[in-house]
Structure 1
Amino acid sequence: MNIRFLETFVWLARLRNFRLTAERLHTTQAAVSSRIASLEQDFGVRLFDRSAREVALTADGSKALVHAERMVKLMREMKEDMSDREVYAGVIRIGVIESIVHSWFPDFLGRLHKTFPRLQIEIVSDTTIHLHEQFSKGNLDLVLQAEAVIGPQVSNLALCEFPMRWVGSPKLDIGSETLSLADLAAFPIISFARNSGPHAVIERLFSDSQRSERTLHINCIASVATMIRLATDGFGITAVPPAIIQRELNEESLHLLRVDTEFPALVLIASFRSDHENPLTETVARIAQETAADFALNWGHEIARLPASLN
């Protein structure tokens, strides 16, 4: 049962007016009416007698109000308890992709520990596809990844965007001239996992046979660390966020390549359930959002960017 619907029921019982209730809850009269209708359908009774000017509780509505007020009060107390940094000592399960692990994730964990020092954190690092699967099964409370999770009572927060660049080892002796896709096709391509967003981009970019007469060799790898290692060893070229290879760029074990076709940025998103079962998840997602934004502001446009809109 949606706690917001019960809260709407309680306020309508107090104010006895759809317009005033909508204003109090910062929503529309239609939304208030829809929530009440949903509750009445769930309970199988009419909660209000409606007139042109005001509404009044039915006998069944009066009985339901006692329980609704108790549940709303309990949820309010729970939220207050969750906001007590020293008291909260629960467990949160976070799924995260490697591109975040290798960039601003340590800063995020530091902030999270400072905010909730007694919070126990369980971390799963995997591909976006696998994280979505675990999230849908209820095995994760929050996922930090590259695609929005679409579903009922799921919220998505834009974190930041990572520009993607083609890179290669000096061992390949590629040079500094501007390369075409046909030039890139001469080398083995080291790609993110199959069916991932970056992998789909690579397939789309090279799908036009007129751009390259060469046979393209795409090697799909689920581990970002392995991708970077293979690239530095000269196995092939890869498209990755410069945000995760700063050490390799500084040590010149990898070089940014000049390519005439832009690779779309990697958009990072925090997804969590918004059904009030665990209100802490939104707070943690907001901390991730703040950390990602600070990372983008500190490192600059070539490394990370603020998303088009921050929810």
Structure 2
Amino acid sequence: MNLKFLETFVWVARLQSFSLTAEKMFSTQAAISSRIASLEEELGLRLFVRDSRGVSLTLEGLKVLDYAEQMLEVQRALKHSLDNTNPQQGLVRIGVMDTVIHTWLSPLMSTLMQTFPAVEIEITADAARNLCDQLQKGYLDIVFQTDLIRHESVRNLELAHYPMHWIAASNSIYARPYASLAEMASERIITFVKNSRPHQDVLNLLHAHGISTPRVSCVNSVSAMTRLIRDGFGIGALPAALVAKPLASGELIQLEPGTRLPQLDVVASWRAGVGLELIESIVDMSRQVVSQYAADVGPLRMVPAPGLNNRRTLE
């Protein structure tokens, strides 16, 4: 039995798409279809159902998937036992939201490159919603973003929470006491990209306090957002970790209108399965890096998720 055909079968089952599998395996859709057809002919079984909704496994295909993953794991273990002197190689595609880039991505990359110097790393920065979509389509291997991904082939690990604050430039017109959230909401609020988790949290909080038409400006770049806040163009709704230095110097201040913002969660999400041990190693690495980063900056900037050191993985 051709192990390359089995590997192709496993990826079609995971991605539920012939075209995405072709991209993943640097092949053509015709070649992928031919491999699956050959495997079905050899086994005398129909492995997939193809319809307008996409590709799904048959009952026989589900049984074959379990054995196929076991066979690929044996192949991987055999190769490793025969040649364990070579460093780990391959390409890892990591998706990150802006907040991670500006806080603990650098120590993670430093640790990753020291541990796996031969691994090629590709970084994609995007909004959480887009990162989740790209992971499920197979364009990314692991993403660090805000939401749990409910998908049968995706695992999630809650990493940490960023406390969110109302922040303004200390020399701006906004640097004054506010008696209530409603009073503060009459000013311009600056926050993350539209429809992101923090943007929705800000809107929900304001609406819950009867503020139906707030002036909220959405910015899709953390650098641009913090620049606008520092230059006095509005009140920021963002994690204090992103502006730790200007807060410490007094250039920025935290406002206390009596109502706190919901925290911003950070979740690692990745595809589960045989042959993805490198991804699992990076997830474990991120857990350690986040724990250390949180310890360094303190609970006002970042709080590790409960049980992080015991690695609580959510399917």
Deviation at 1:247? 2.1
Aligned-partner Cα distance in 2 for 1:69–1:40: 19
Deviation at 1:40? 11
- Matching of residues 122-137 of structure 1 within 5 Å: 122-137=122-137
> Which of 293, 297, 300 pairs up with 1:299?
297
Residues 72, 275 of structure 2: 8 Å contact kept: no
Aligned-partner Cα distance in 1 for 2:202–2:104: 25
> Which amino acid in the other structure matches residue 266 of structure 1?
L
Instruction: State whether structure 2 residue 276 is matched by structure 1 residue 278.
Output: yes
- Residue 76 of structure 1 is matched in structure 2 by 77
> Which amino acid in the other structure matches residue 129 of structure 1?
R
Q: Which runs of 5+ in 2 are unaligned?
A: 1-8, 11-56
Aligned-partner Cα distance in 1 for 2:283–2:296: 20
- Residue 177 of structure 1 is matched in structure 2 by 177
- Matching of residues 133-212 of structure 1 within 5 Å: 133-175=133-175, 177=177, 179-208=179-208, 210=210, 212=211
The change in CA–CA distance for 1:124 and 1:78 in structure 2 (over 3 A counts) is farther
Residues 167, 239 of structure 1: 8 Å contact kept: yes
Residues 132, 149 of structure 2: 8 Å contact kept: yes
Q: Name the SS for the 2:299 alignment partner.
A: coil
Aligned-partner Cα distance in 1 for 2:137–2:58: 30
The change in CA–CA distance for 1:169 and 1:75 in structure 2 (over 3 A counts) is same
The change in CA–CA distance for 1:283 and 1:187 in structure 2 (over 3 A counts) is same
Deviation at 1:43? 6.8
Aligned-partner Cα distance in 2 for 1:246–1:40: 53
- Matching of residues 106-125 of structure 1 within 5 Å: 106-125=106-125
Deviation at 1:261? 0.8
Q: Deviations over 1:154-185 (max 9, x none)?
A: 11111111111110012324445354211221
- Residue 4 of structure 2 is matched in structure 1 by none
Is the deviation greater in 243-252 or in 73-82?
73-82
Greater Rg by CA: 1
- Residue 251 of structure 1 is matched in structure 2 by 249
The change in CA–CA distance for 1:68 and 1:101 in structure 2 (over 3 A counts) is closer
Residues 174, 235 of structure 2: 8 Å contact kept: no
> Which amino acid in the other structure matches residue 73 of structure 1?
V
RMSD between aligned residues = 3.1
> Which amino acid in the other structure matches residue 300 of structure 1?
G
- Residue 3 of structure 2 is matched in structure 1 by none
Aligned-partner Cα distance in 1 for 2:229–2:62: 63
Q: Name the SS for the 1:113 alignment partner.
A: helix
> Which amino acid in the other structure matches residue 42 of structure 1?
E
Q: Which runs of 5+ in 1 are unaligned?
A: 3-38, 48-63
Aligned-partner Cα distance in 1 for 2:293–2:178: 29
Number of aligned pairs?
Answer: 255
- Residue 44 of structure 2 is matched in structure 1 by none
The change in CA–CA distance for 1:124 and 1:79 in structure 2 (over 3 A counts) is farther
The change in CA–CA distance for 1:245 and 1:115 in structure 2 (over 3 A counts) is same
> Which of 203, 211, 218 pairs up with 1:220?
218
- Residue 47 of structure 2 is matched in structure 1 by none
% same residue = 28
> Which amino acid in the other structure matches residue 168 of structure 1?
A
Aligned-partner Cα distance in 1 for 2:194–2:82: 43
Deviation at 1:250? 2.8
Which aligned segments of 4 or more residues in structure 1 are displaced greater than 6 angstroms? 79-82
Q: Deviations over 1:118-157 (max 9, x none)?
A: 1111001111011112212211101011111211111111
